Structure formats: C-alpha cells, structure tokens
Amino acid sequence: MGRHRSAFKRALDLKPKVFRLSRWVTLGLPMLRRALSFFPEKGWPAAARVTIVHRSAYHYPWCAPAHAVELARVFEQNVDVSVDSSWPHFIRAERIVAILNDMIVPGHRVTPVDPITGRQISSDRSGPATWSTARPSISALTTHEVSGDLTIVIPRVDHFGHLLTDVLMPLFFAIQTIGFTQGHRLNVVTSERPVALVLAFINALRHAGYSVNHVETRTTQTILVPRLLYANCHTRNLELKFATPESLDFARTHLLAALPPFEGVLPKRIYLQRGRTRTRRVAGEAELIARLNGLGFVALEGRWSNLAQQIGAFHGADVVVSVHSAGMANMLWSRPGALLIEICAQNARKSTGLHWAACAGADYRSLFGSDEAGYQDFSIDPDAIFAEINDIIQSRENRPARAEQEQTAMAPERLVCATPG
C-alpha cells in the first residue's frame, strides 16, 4: 500500500516524526532509554560476547537455467523491497548462527537488545531502527530472567510469509546446526498470545525431542537472557531473505507431526484466495475461481485459524494458483515438482514466488493482469487467465519424456546467473 501513498499522506504520518524526536531527546541518556525501553539503534555486540556457530553463503537456486525465463519476467517492472544490508551480493545470501551472552528482550516488541550498547541485535546492519521495532514503553517495570539454557526469541511479526521464511526457518536451521549438544532444553520467548504458527513451531521443537520452556512476555516486562541463540540471513532484497532450505525437511517432519490432523479431503489443485482485505483486491477473481472449479481446483483462504489445513493442503498439492500474497510462503511445505502459478499486476512484479518455489524444488509460472491502481488493486481477464492456466497444466502433463531428455542433456555444473536487470 505504501507504493501509492501520496506525499500529503506521508507528511501526515506522525510515526517517523515521533521516532526521530524520541531518539533526539534521549540521545546521550542511556539510563533514560533503558527506563523507557527505547532502543532506537541497531548493531552487533562486542566480539567477546559472541560465539559464531555457523557462517556460510547460499546461492539462490533461481540462477539455474530452468528458471531463466521466469527470472527475466519477474524482474521486469519489479517492485521488490530493498534492504539496507552490509551484505554486498545479489545472487546469494549469507547465513549466520551465533550464541550471544547476556542480552535483554523488552516485552512490548520482543526484539533482543544488547544492554551494554543499548542497540537492537543485528548482524548485518547498524544505525537507526524504525518506529515499528523501537518505541518508548513501560517494559522496564519488571524483569524476569530465564535459565542458562539456550534461548530463542521470536519477535512480533504479523506478516505470515515473513514470520515463516525470515524468522522461523532460520531458527529451525540454527537448531539443526547446534544439534542436541545443549542438553535438549530450550527457552522460547514470544509475545503474549502468540499466533498459531508460532505455537506450531514450539510444538514442532517438542516433537523433535526438545524440552521447551515457553515464556510469554508482558508489555510491562523485560526478559533477561543469559544465552541467546541468534539466526539470520543477510540479503539485499527483502523478497529473497529465505536462505535456509536445509531446514525444510526438518521443519516439514516435525511441524506436520505436531499439527492436529486435518479431517477432510485435501485437494490436489488449490486456488489460494486472499479473502477480505483492504489491499490487492482483484477484479475478475471470482469468475476465475468459478472456471477453475471445472479443472478440479478448490479455493482455500489462508487464516491463522486453519493453519493445519493450509500446510497439509500445500504439502499434498500438485498445482497452486495464487495472486501474490503472504500465503504463498506455504510453498515451502510443498513437494518437489509441485507447481506455483502466481498472478501479479503487470507493473508490480515480485521475485518472492519464484524464490520460494525454487528453494522448495517446485516449478513456477507467472501470469499478469492489469496495471496496479490504488491500494495495489488490479484486474484480470478471467477467460484469458483461465486459458493460460489450462495450457500450463496441459503442457506439464504432456512433458515427462521431454523433461527426462532435457535433464540428461543438461551440463552437470551449476550455472550462476548475472544480476537481473
């Protein structure tokens, strides 16, 4: 929605102004900042307080020749979100796992902070934070110290896709990296009443054999963490932040086992609906869904309340059709060889769907509607989009012999793509 905010509306937004004022008023007053639980900068603790467990680079799989056509399409008229990161590369990301000693977690934002420097923990950038992660509060009224076992902190993230791909999957990767050498016990710090995906993550850890102490922070409370397990992926593009596909099998095994079984028939073809939303409404979508019903598609709306159905459906689906949405992150649960068909506005394309599908070993095709209007709304021609979807499915069903020949003919070495655009 921010892409269409006028200069007038941006001028009326008080949050950045209040943030800058609060940062200026408390500058040079660390005691006041701690009293207000206001930590407006990001940074990395001193080396003496950090143990690096793992550090490696991950080459994005959409650099393979099989994705070249779609890669070019999604980077045309692209609106990916850039990230202020010290990581210089575009076609690969960096993964880092570390253990940090003696950190704190203010309860109002559940973001780890170094109490010595007063900076939020960040391994790839330094400088000012934003109002969304740093605002004055009353979190310093009480303190609670967790045990010396390793502690995972899950910050408040309302976006399903970013919570799954940017936060939870790197934590799965970190837990795999350390293995069971920490005594099988973990503390997990979350906000009060965490969303279903966070609870599923905790139950997945328990299914994997860990004894988990779940601590729900109150807004008036600061948590003292003797040993923080930190996991992050460094990238220049927010849409490409997921970079730990090694964690997928572990996550699928334990999270699927931890979820209650869905009592019903899971479809092989899914149309993922956005549901009632203020943004990215698509004129013609209802007509498209009606046509797709004839091809065996079942419409599914992603909600926090039907998490087991979402994950189970994506895990078993052969084909998923979706307007660009956070729910497409469920492609990480899909089986290799599944297909994601993403519908975007003509002038507002993103690489997210291709990236998630490629990381999971799934195929990807992009389709486009009209140009984007206010609130990211756009329209589609349901007959034309239906015909394209049908053609894609038919060509896949007729390709086995040709695909086997192409696979045999491919060079064994891995190809690295140039920076798109």
Largest CA distance in the chain: 70
The DSSP bridge pattern shows strands 339-344 and 319-323 to be parallel
CATH architecture of 269-409: 3-Layer(aba) Sandwich (3.40)
Q: How far apart are CA 320 and CA 339, in angstroms?
A: 6
> What's the pTM value of the predicted model, to 2 decimals?
0.90
For the cut 80, the answer to whether the pLDDT of residue 277 exceeds it is: no
Residues 243-273 pLDDT 10s = 999 999 999 999 989 988 877 788 999 999 9
Q: How far apart are CA 112 and CA 155, in angstroms?
A: 8
**Neighbouring residues of 157: CB distance < 8 A, sequence distance ≥ 6:** 163, 166, 167
Start-end of CATH 3.40.50 domains in the chain: 269-409
Query: For position 4, what pLDDT does the model report?
Result: 57
Residues 83-134 pLDDT 10s = 888 899 999 999 999 999 999 999 998 999 999 999 999 999 889 998 888 8
Q: Which of 32-46, 185-199, 262-276, 406-420 has the lowest mean pLDDT?
A: 406-420
For the cut 80, the answer to whether the pLDDT of residue 276 exceeds it is: no
Residues 4-21 pLDDT 10s = 555 566 667 888 888 999
